[in-house]
Amino acid sequence: MMLWEANVDYSTVVGYPLGGHYSRPSVTISTDTVQPQGLLFDPAGDLWVASFSGLAEFTRDQLTEPSPRPKVVIQGSNGFASMAWDASGNLWVDDSGADTIDEYTKSQLSRSGTPTPKVSLSSSELSNPFGLAFDRAGDLWIGNQGNGQVLEFTKSQLTKSGSPVPKLDFSDGGYAAEELVFDPSGNLWVPTGYRNSIIEYKKSRLSNPLVSPAVTITSVPLNGPCGELLDPSGDLWVTNYYGETVVEFSKTELQKTGKLAPRQIIQDVGGPRALAIGP
């Protein structure tokens, strides 16, 4: 397995063997995508890259090539950022430039072009959305980079375009709610880019609009945290856009609140944004 990282400043995607040495990537993919913001693997092991120039799909076999040409390119965005698959295999993308959340079906993703999203959600409460995650009920959660709000739209609200009222809307306590991750227990983890912290909200409290965090992690290496993922062992990986590092917090450390020391650090990586684990 590989740890993949999107470097905004260099417009590259790099890969490190998970659990190996992180001093130098073993794979560096230079692409035509401008400022890659999101990474996501599909069930076939193909890598999807969201960027300011659209969506690009690279097949599993292409991930060993230095300059592959995307299999599929979807254009028409004002700045795609985070992505999430729903239970039907359709792709949801936040268009941060347009302040919309868009759905593309599996058939639309099978060929290049400029398709009209099957569903496009807008809301006065969407402000530079930069994080997406589905919970087990099929509800879609959004992190707003612009105002620090976290929104929840129910599964039933995702069936047609429009401006639905979010089921839940709460603040992360600061600006720049970025990538969202649910852990196996259903707890929600949110990086707060301008407060240099990682916040956990317990599943049992996510129905409360005045929800308060159960865990707040601060750390000297946290400097503009934005992307995050949980690896198979339950450790949390976080990208630091301004610090140009990637840090790892162990599963044990995630039970604590306060200033924690990361276990691994990838340094000098040119505007790291998104992370993904795949082949």
- Residue-wise pLDDT tens digits, 57-73: 999 999 988 788 899 99
Q: Which residues pair with 47 in a beta bridge?
A: 41, 58
pLDDT at 211: 63
Residue 190 lies in a domain: yes
Domain count, the chain: 1
CA–CA distance, 227 with 123 (Å, rounded to integer) = 24
Residue 234 lies in a domain: yes
Q: Which is it for strands 215-218 and 258-259: parallel, antiparallel or unpaired?
A: parallel
Q: Which segment of 98-102, 235-239, 269-273, 275-279 scores lowest on mean pLDDT?
A: 269-273
Alpha carbons 153 and 169: distance in angstroms, whole number: 9
d(CA 158, CA 155): 5
Residue 33 CA, chain-centre distance (Å), reads 17
Answer whether residue 237 is part of any domain: yes
Question: Does the pLDDT value for residue 55 go beyond 70?
Answer: yes
Phi and psi at residue 109, to the nearest 5°: -85, 0
What single DSSP character describes residue 271?
Answer: S
213 contacts 205 by C-beta, under 8 angstroms: no
**CATH number for the domain that contains residue 216:** 2.120.10.30
Is residue 3 domain-resident? no
Residue 2 within a domain: no
Is residue 91's pLDDT more than 80?
yes
Phi first, then psi, for residue 54 (nearest 5°) are: 130, -155
pLDDT at position 200 over 60: yes
Distance of CA 175 to the CA centre of its chain: 17
**Is position 122 within any domain?**
yes
| Confidence bin at 106 (pLDDT 50/70/90) | very high
Q: Identify the bridge partners of residue 41 per DSSP, sorted by sequence position.
A: 47
Residue 169 in domain: yes
Q: Is residue 1 a part of any domain in this protein?
A: no
Rg, Å, the chain Cα set? 17
Quickly list H helices, the chain: none
User: Which range marks the domain in which residue 194 is found?
Assistant: 8-278
The residues pairing with 36 across neighbouring beta strands, listed in sequence order, are 51
